[in-house]
Structure 1
Amino acid sequence: MQAVQYTDHGGREVVTYGDAPDPTVGRNEALVDVKAGALNHLDVWTRRGLPGIDLELPHVPGSDAAGVVREVGADVTRVEPGDRVAVSAGVSCGACEFCRRGEPTLCVDYRVLGEHTTGVHSELAAVPADALVSVPDGVDWETAAAAPLVFQTAWRMLVTRGEIRPADSVLVLGASGGVGHAAVQIADHVGCEVFATAGTDEKRATAERLGADRAIDYTDSEFDRRIRELTDRRGVDVVVDHVGEETWRQSLRSLAKGGRLLTCGATSGPNPETNVNRIFGNQLTVVGSTMATYGETEAALERVWDGTFTVETRATLPMSETARGHELLESREGFGKVVLVPDSEYDE
């Protein structure tokens, strides 16, 4: 088969596309004929090398994909050959205390496909059957591939962990990204007043089309000051910050007293300066979140499949141009997800 691979960590030049061994299907796995995949910032960090994660090289990356089940292992009953499926990339042990109490994302052995193990950006992928969700007929492969990771992550962060309510005001940073554009739609769906940041007129217009009440140009002024102006100096109830170092202090300053800062990532770096006095003085809550349970993933994706939520894509590329996809993410070029299609399936 053909697969995206890299033999070393580094810049975009390490990404290749070529021959790789066909995967062996384990007893609890399904072999998926991949019709499309999608990039996340996680793929950029994995390519560069994540501290504490020692990947076996060459590595096939990728956490998002969708396709048709070709074969199943001996113990698999959830899916069968011919099923249309998408990958929900989190895999837990199923036996630790957290798994037993229904919190698999806290599993002591939690793994993400493409980050900790072999990924799915290849013509064929052997995937744990428990990490597959059904894709209805009529949902195109690009949507099915691009939706799972970002919508499940945003859903858990906002609905479960953040407990957003219709009366809340919510600021979403980086609305043009995958998680950002999902978070805007989820907050709007719940009934919140939604503010969003984006760097161009086109991106801000798209954020407003997706549900933002006001879109702020973060390149023109400090967004926290703009939020204070728009809320009569009150601030917002919730800030969604998956940017990290560049925005953390402004995010805290954007919050009203008793507000919640929700984070699921740190694309600009993981070690921001924190004003602890502001946190305890204003009784703020910082809430971390990652991935989602199976039920949360289904709840989010049902609303993608029925058209309630829209998956925006900035580009659809053949997998042989994955390095270009990384460039789009790193340069913040475009709005939404980058979709990758195996070259054998790609049709310009």
Structure 2
Amino acid sequence: MKAVQFTEHGDRSVITYDDYPEPDVGRNEVLIDVKAGALNHLDIWTRRGLPGIDPEMPHVPGSDAAGVVLETGPDVTRFDEGDRVALSAGVGCGRCEFCRDGDESMCVRYRIIGEHLPGVHAERAAVPEDNLIPVPDDVDWEIAGSATLVFQTAWRMLVDRADLEAGETVLVLGASGGVGHAAVQIAAHAGAEVFAAASTDEKLQYADDCGADHLINYETQNFAGAIRELTGKRGVDVVVDHVGEATYDDSLKSLAKGGRLVTCGATTGPNPPAGLNRIFWNQLSVIGSTMATPGQADDVLSLVWDGTFEPRIREVLPMSRTARAHELLENREGFGKVVVKPDSEF
């Protein structure tokens, strides 16, 4: 079969779409005929080889995909041949206190398919049945293959970790990206007043279409100053920040007294100045979050499947053009998700 892969870390030139061994199906695994999958920024970090991300080579990336069940292992009970499924990429150990309590995303040995483990951007992939979610017949493959990671991440950030309530105010940074545009939709659905920040007016128009109430171009204005002006110097209750060093200080400045900054990543760097004086004086909370529990993933994806939430797709490419897909993300071209499909699906 064909698969996206790389044999060493590096720039986009290390990516190939080439022959790869057929996957072996374990006792609790399901073999999927992959129809579509989406890229995430973690695909870029994995390719570059950041500390702590050292998968076995050659490595197949991809933490988002959907397809049809071709075969099931002898211990599989939830799926049958012909079922439509989507991947939920987080893998817990199943033994630690967090896994026993049902929160695998807190697992001390947590790993992600496509990042630490072989991914699913291939013609076929073997996946543990616990990492699969049923997909209704009327959901397009591009939607099913691009929704799971960003929507479950944004849902856990806002609904679980930040405990967002109706009537609160939320600033979403990077509102044109995968997690960002999911967060805008989820916050609006929760009854919050949503402030969306992005780098171009075109991207902000997409954020407006997703339900944002206020739009801030952070290339032409300081977003913390804009928030103070728009809120009468109060600030917002919650900031969604997955950008990191470049935005962290202004994110703290954007918060109201007792506000919460929730983060799931740091695309511009993980080590900003702590800002402890602002944190303790304004009694702020800085909250980390990653992925979601199976129950949280089911909750948010049911709202994707019924059309309440919509993954916005900027481009669909054959897997042989995955390097171009990486380029779109790295250069921040466009709005929403970049989807890749096996060349045989074109």
Q: Under a length normalisation based on structure 1, what TM-score does the superposition of the two structures give? A: 0.98
Structure 1 residue 152: Cα displacement = 0.3
Gaps of 5+ in 2: none
Structure 1 residue 54: Cα displacement = 2.3
* Residue number in structure 1 paired with 2:332: 332
Measured in 2, the distance between the counterparts of 1:273 and 1:331 equals 26
* Residue number in structure 2 paired with 1:101: 101
SS in 1 for 2:47: helix
Are residues 1:186 and 2:186 paired?
yes
Measured in 1, the distance between the counterparts of 2:40 and 2:51 equals 18
Tell me the amino acid that sits aligned with residue 340 of structure 1: V
SS in 1 for 2:58: coil
* Residue number in structure 1 paired with 2:9: 9
Deviations 1:9-41 (A, max 9, x none): 010111110100000000111000000010000
* Residue number in structure 1 paired with 2:238: 238
SS in 2 for 1:64: coil
Structure 1 residue 275: Cα displacement = 1.2
SS in 2 for 1:286: strand
Are residues 1:318 and 2:318 paired?
yes
* Residue number in structure 1 paired with 2:22: 22
* Residue number in structure 1 paired with 2:222: 222
Structure 1 residue 316: Cα displacement = 0.4
Measured in 1, the distance between the counterparts of 2:17 and 2:53 equals 23
Measured in 2, the distance between the counterparts of 1:187 and 1:134 equals 25
* Residue number in structure 2 paired with 1:303: 303
SS in 2 for 1:334: coil
Pairwise CA RMSD: 0.7
Structure 1 residue 328: Cα displacement = 0.5
Measured in 2, the distance between the counterparts of 1:84 and 1:147 equals 14
Tell me the amino acid that sits aligned with residue 32 of structure 2: V
* Residue number in structure 1 paired with 2:114: 114
* Residue number in structure 1 paired with 2:259: 259
Deviations 1:140-162 (A, max 9, x none): 00000000000000001100111
Structure 1 residue 109: Cα displacement = 1.8
Deviations 1:211-250 (A, max 9, x none): 1001100000110000000000000000000000110000
Are residues 1:39 and 2:39 paired?
yes
Deviations 1:281-337 (A, max 9, x none): 100001100000111001110111101001101110000000101010011100000
Matches within 5 A, 1:85-234: 85-234=85-234
Q: Which moved more, 1:74-83 or 1:186-195?
A: 74-83
Tell me which stretches of 4 or more aligned residues in structure 1 moved more than 6 Å: none
Tell me the amino acid that sits aligned with residue 199 of structure 1: S
SS in 1 for 2:53: coil
Tell me the amino acid that sits aligned with residue 56 of structure 1: E
Aligned-residue sequence identity (percent) comes to: 68
Measured in 2, the distance between the counterparts of 1:287 and 1:275 equals 14
Are residues 1:268 and 2:286 paired?
no
SS in 2 for 1:147: helix
Tell me the amino acid that sits aligned with residue 149 of structure 1: L
Measured in 2, the distance between the counterparts of 1:39 and 1:203 equals 19
Measured in 2, the distance between the counterparts of 1:273 and 1:315 equals 37
Measured in 2, the distance between the counterparts of 1:277 and 1:294 equals 37
* Residue number in structure 2 paired with 1:57: 57
* Residue number in structure 2 paired with 1:80: 80
* Residue number in structure 2 paired with 1:279: 279
Tell me the amino acid that sits aligned with residue 199 of structure 2: G
Measured in 1, the distance between the counterparts of 2:227 and 2:54 equals 42
Structure 1 residue 53: Cα displacement = 2.8
Measured in 2, the distance between the counterparts of 1:111 and 1:297 equals 16
Structure 1 residue 74: Cα displacement = 1.0
* Residue number in structure 2 paired with 1:71: 71
Structure 1 residue 107: Cα displacement = 1.1
SS in 1 for 2:156: helix
SS in 2 for 1:125: strand
SS in 1 for 2:233: coil
Tell me the amino acid that sits aligned with residue 312 of structure 1: R
SS in 2 for 1:232: coil
Structure 1 residue 50: Cα displacement = 2.4
Q: Under a length normalisation based on structure 2, what TM-score does the superposition of the two structures give? A: 0.99
SS in 1 for 2:245: coil
Tell me the amino acid that sits aligned with residue 45 of structure 1: W
